[in-house]
A and B are shown apart, each in its own frame.
Chain A
Amino acid sequence: MNINLTLFAQAATFAIFIWFTARFVWPHLSRAIEARQKHIAEGLAAAERGKQDLEQAAVRTADMLRDARQQAQEILAQAEKRASQIIEEAKVAASEEGARLIVAAKAEIEQEVSSARETLRTQVAGLAVAGAEQILRREVDAKVHASLLATLQGQL
């Protein structure tokens, strides 16, 4: 155990190594470590933000889905309403058309009947005249009794 110059040599060596570590080793490494810590913190924050965004998006999606469903429901209801309306209108139009057709048919029938009656009347009158001619023979002058015949024809 003899203290000598070695002590000072070792102290100087120690001082140099402390200086070297403090000047060249520590700053580099602490800078890298701090940068990495910052990087990791940012990454975690970004992940958190992404998660929140996802949750918000899910909520928005649900909202949109609900709205769309509601709209579809409304459109469907409207379409049904419109369809029944159209059917209703068609029914009305059809019944009107039917009534009109019936009226027209009736009128035609009327007309047919009257014209048939006319024809019948003429034929009956003719037949009556022919019958009378048969009966009376020459005694009846068609020209003289024309007015009488016309009256008869009108009475039929």
Chain B
Amino acid sequence: MPAQELSPTSYIGHHLTNRTISLGDSPFWTLHLDTVVTSALLGLITFGFLWLVVRGATAAVPGRRQAFVELAVGFVDDQVKGIFHGNRSFITPLALTVFVWVILMNAMDFLPVDIMAWVYEHVFHQHNWRQVPTADVNTTFALALSVWVLMIFYSIKIKGLGGWIHELFTAPFGSNPLLWPANFLFNMVEYVSKPLSHSLRLFGNMYAGEIIFLLLWLWAATGLAGTIFGALLGVGWAIFHILIVALQAFIFMMLTVVYLSMAHETH
């Protein structure tokens, strides 16, 4: 923390402020530089690593790294196989991208915020750098809405535009014209709630995780007892957070696959 008055509000506010750049007049034209750069770097490292490994992939006995990558990819592919019945040549890479990218963005939460703040401040000369991209609602909405668009795209591709609209009015209750409004309303609620729950679940979990860390570090600044308990509970929360990081990435991936496989089913 730079030399300024430390109050709980300013501490938490400081850590929850995005590094922004403005590209236009209205508030919409701002970019969260920290979110975009961190997530892009994580993606480049991860997918670059995956690419390097699979480029030299051999059908014979795999090496350590290839076995590791195959394990991860096989895990994702098995999940997809269980839910989605059809050509997986797009769905599995999509699920893999979601899982790997989200788990790494979530895992940024493990980096201790105050040390990293010093690093960002003094090494990269960036003030207010939020390091967890998935704790930024823009990221989770971007992912969920991309999946949502793909969902509608596949609905139309599989069932045709007419078939999709037909389904909007006739499923799930029945094709009686009297039921059309109810069906349509139901489907609209579903189409709105899907991306909302999809994105806000991940965002909420990661944001809450971040805040709990911040509260613990606040406590750690209150004296010897606070430091000891803050550190102990911080370790506890970090260990528990490993589960949340992996679980939320897994849930996000599974929902992606479920939504897309629902788009492939005709009623």
Binding site for B on A (CB under 8 A): 1-11, 13-15, 17-18, 20-22, 24-33, 35-36, 39
Contact = CB atoms under 8 A, between A and B. Distances in A.
Interface residues of B, number: 46
Given A6-B136, A21-B96, A32 B57 contact: yes
Interface of B: 23, 27-32, 35-36, 39-40, 43, 47, 50-51, 54-55, 57-60, 62, 66, 69-70, 73-74, 77, 89-90, 92-94, 96-97, 101, 133, 136-139, 141-143, 145-146
Nearest to B35: A6
A6 B31 contact: yes
A25 B141 contact: no
Nearest to A18: B97
A22 B27 CA distance: 35
B146 A11 contact: yes
B94 A3 contact: no
Given A21-B97, A22-B93, A29-B70, A3 B141 contact: yes
25 contacts: A3-B137, A6-B30, A9-B36, A10-B39, A10-B138, A10-B142, A11-B145, A14-B97, A14-B146, A15-B146, A17-B97, A17-B101, A22-B94, A22-B97, A24-B51, A24-B55, A25-B50, A28-B55, A29-B57, A29-B73, A30-B92, A32-B58, A32-B66, A36-B59, A36-B62
Contact of A33 (B39, B70, B97, B141): B70
Interface of B (DSSP majority class): helix
Nearest to B46: A17
A36 to B, nearest CB: 5
Contact of A10 (B35, B57, B69, B77): B35
B146 A6 contact: no
A113 B23 CA distance: 163
Contacts of B133: 10
Given A3-B138, A11-B145, A26 B89 contact: yes
A102 B38 CA distance: 132
B47 A17 contact: yes
B57 A6 contact: no
B59 A13 contact: no
B39 A7 contact: no
A32 B36 contact: no
B29 A29 contact: no
A25 B74 contact: no
A29 B54 contact: yes
Contact of A4 (B27, B57, B146): B27
Contacts of B31: 4-6, 9
Contacts of B60: 36, 39
Quick one: which of A2, A5, A27, A31 has the most chain B CB within 10 A? A5
A8 B137 CA distance: 12
Given A29-B54, A29-B73, A32-B54, A6 B43 contact: no
A32 B73 CA distance: 12
Quick one: which of A15, A18, A21, A32 has the most chain B CB within 10 A? A21
